[in-house]
């Protein structure tokens, strides 16, 4: 029995399509991330599940029950908004007790639930504080405790970390997942942050222009993207253009005006125009004299220190787009802006896609 089931959900605002007939199934106890750029329809989707926005078409089922026509309070789920929406005039304690109390649970049960949830998020000792007396991270945990105290099995999280400092976001992202897994809650987590989505989720749904571009395990959507957009939206990717010569079970052979490429096997056919894509951490910088397949020359135009990684941006005669390369910090030490380097891509790391309708540049736009 799926815990959340969407069937042909669609929504228009002022005639513009925001959600374009989405089917989606979130399994019992699953933690799913909905990832996409601003305006992709992520929040609209979540609000339709919560009952805060009415779909124009399609059905919403929760725990097998059709809730499409039910108001939010009659759906068995908890919703946590970006801004937490804590009651400013209520103590932490009463904020967390709010939902079970409204449901008419007896005070002993209400108190027990509130105590349990505050213990879980580590805030029982702050139960007498007002929200404004708490730090951002504590407010976030209070909101989480309040949502979980509703006692439902479905938790909807709309950008739950967005209001926090970047470093705190990193520290807290796995704790939400852990809490949900420990409680056996089914969670749907909306975010625009690709690393957050990959890390917290069992499966990630990438949405764009109101449609699901791809749905799969973190590892799958990252390593086997369905097209150029997903390839570059998760992590970073470099792109080259070519024409298919041969497709075998082991590889795809392609050529451009100047050279040949060897790539992963694909479903393309000989003579078809294609784009090749590689994740920026899978581009290798060759040592002097080292040889490999798919080598090309590039010049470093920008070097960014990212802590764990060094991010390089280069120009190359093989593509009109900048070539981005991500190296481990110690590997990138010697490479400076202006350095000329030889790069290589292993065929198994080279993905091949048909040229998207509307062209590659249009496909890669994120805003």
Partner 1 sequence: MMPTVELRKVSMRFGKVTAAEDVSLTIKDGEYLAILGPSGCGKTTLAKMVSGIWEPTEGDVYIDGRRVNGIPPEERRVGYVFQNIVLFPHLTVWDNAAYSPRVKGLDRPQQEKIGNEALELVEMLKESDKFPSELSGGAQQKVGLARALATRAGLLILDEPLSALDARVRMELRYTLRKLVKNLGLTAIHVTHDQEEAMSVADRIVIMRKGKVVEDGPPSELYHNPKQLFTANFLGESNFLEGVVDRTIDSWAVIELRNEQFLRVRGDGLRRGQAVVVSIRPEHLTLAKVAAAPMLTGKVQDVHFAGAYVRYEVAVRTGDAMIVDAMADEARFNTGEDVIVLFDLEHVRVYPRPYAGLQEALKLE
Residues that bind partner 1 (CB under 8 A): 37-38, 135-137, 165-168, 170-171, 174, 192-195, 198-199, 218-219, 222, 233-235, 279-282, 302, 304-309, 311, 313, 326, 328-329, 366-367
Smallest gap from residue 208 Cβ to partner 1 (A): 12
Pairing status of strand 203-208 against strand 186-191: unpaired
Smallest gap from residue 56 Cβ to partner 1 (A): 25
Cα–Cα distance, 110 to 107 (Å, whole number) = 5
Smallest gap from residue 192 Cβ to partner 1 (A): 5
Cα separation values, 7 from 58, 129, 142, 357, Å: 5, 43, 33, 27
Smallest gap from residue 309 Cβ to partner 1 (A): 7
Please tell me what DSSP assigns to residue 112: H
3-state helix, strand, coil in the chain (%, to 5): 30, 35, 35
Cα–Cα distance, 299 to 156 (Å, whole number) = 46
Smallest gap from residue 25 Cβ to partner 1 (A): 22
Smallest gap from residue 137 Cβ to partner 1 (A): 5
What is the distance of C-alpha 356 from the center of its chain? 22
Smallest gap from residue 123 Cβ to partner 1 (A): 14
For residue 135 the two structure tokens come to: 């730090």
- Using DSSP's 3-state secondary structure scheme, residue 26 falls into strand
Cα–Cα distance, 35 to 115 (Å, whole number) = 33
Contact 100, 151 (CB under 8 A): yes
Nearer to partner 1, 47 or 284 (CB): 284
**Nearest Cα residue to 230 out of 282, 269, 194:** 194
Nearer to partner 1, 282 or 319 (CB): 282
Smallest gap from residue 257 Cβ to partner 1 (A): 28
Cα separation values, 214 from 2, 109, 226, 362, Å: 19, 42, 7, 18
Nearer to partner 1, 311 or 347 (CB): 311
Nearer to partner 1, 79 or 229 (CB): 229
Smallest gap from residue 62 Cβ to partner 1 (A): 28
- Using DSSP's 3-state secondary structure scheme, residue 328 falls into strand
Nearer to partner 1, 62 or 198 (CB): 198
**Terminal CA-to-CA distance of the chain, rounded, Å?**
37
Nearer to partner 1, 58 or 356 (CB): 356
Q: Which residue has the tokens 């496909």?
A: 363
Nearer to partner 1, 252 or 282 (CB): 282
**Nearest Cα residue to 270 out of 238, 297, 246:** 246
Nearer to partner 1, 232 or 252 (CB): 232
Smallest gap from residue 17 Cβ to partner 1 (A): 18
Cα–Cα distance, 204 to 218 (Å, whole number) = 6
Nearer to partner 1, 159 or 318 (CB): 159
Q: How many residues does the chain have?
A: 367
What are the helix (H) ranges across 103-256? 107-120, 136-149, 166-183, 194-200, 218-223, 228-233
């Amino acid at each position: 029995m799926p815990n959340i089931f969407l069937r042909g959900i669609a929504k228009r605002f002022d005639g513009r399509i925001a959600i374009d007939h989405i089917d989606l199934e979130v399994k019992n106890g699953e933690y799913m991330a909905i990832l996409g750029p601003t305006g992709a329809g992520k929040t609209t989707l979540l609000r339709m599940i919560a009952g805060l926005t009415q779909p124009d078409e399609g059905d919403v089922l929760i725990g097998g029950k059709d809730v499409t026509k039910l108001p939010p309070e009659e759906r068995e789920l908890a919703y946590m908004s970006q801004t937490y929406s804590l009651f400013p005039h209520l103590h932490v304690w009463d904020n967390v007790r709010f939902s079970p109390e409204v449901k008419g649970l007896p005070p002993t049960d209400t108190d027990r639930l509130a105590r349990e949830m505050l213990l879980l998020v580590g805030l029982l000792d702050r139960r007498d504080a007002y929200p404004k007396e708490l730090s951002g991270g504590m407010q976030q945990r209070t909101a989480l405790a309040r949502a979980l105290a509703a006692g439902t099995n479905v938790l909807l999280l709309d950008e739950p970390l967005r209001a926090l400092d970047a470093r705190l976001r990193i520290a807290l992202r796995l704790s939400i997942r852990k809490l949900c897994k420990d409680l056996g809650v089914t969670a749907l987590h909306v975010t625009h942050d690709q690393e957050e989505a990959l890390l917290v989720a069992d499966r990630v749904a990438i949405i764009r222009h109101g449609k699901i571009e791809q749905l799969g395990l973190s590892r799958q959507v990252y390593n086997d993207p369905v097209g150029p957009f997903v390839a570059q939206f998760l992590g970073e990717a470099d792109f080259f253009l070519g024409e298919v010569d041969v497709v075998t079970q082991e590889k795809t052979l392609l050529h451009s005006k100047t050279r040949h490429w060897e790539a992963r096997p694909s479903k393309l056919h000989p003579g078809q125009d294609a784009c090749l894509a590689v994740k920026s951490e899978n581009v290798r910088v060759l040592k002097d004299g080292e040889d490999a397949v798919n080598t090309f020359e590039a010049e470093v135009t920008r070097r960014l220190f990212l802590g764990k990684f060094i991010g390089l941006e280069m120009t190359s005669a093989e593509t009109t787009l900048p070539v981005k390369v991500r190296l481990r910090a110690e590997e990138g030490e010697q490479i400076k802006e202006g350095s000329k380097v030889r790069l290589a891509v292993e065929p198994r790391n080279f993905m091949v896609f048909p040229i998207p309708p509307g062209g590659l540049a249009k496909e890669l736009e994120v805003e």
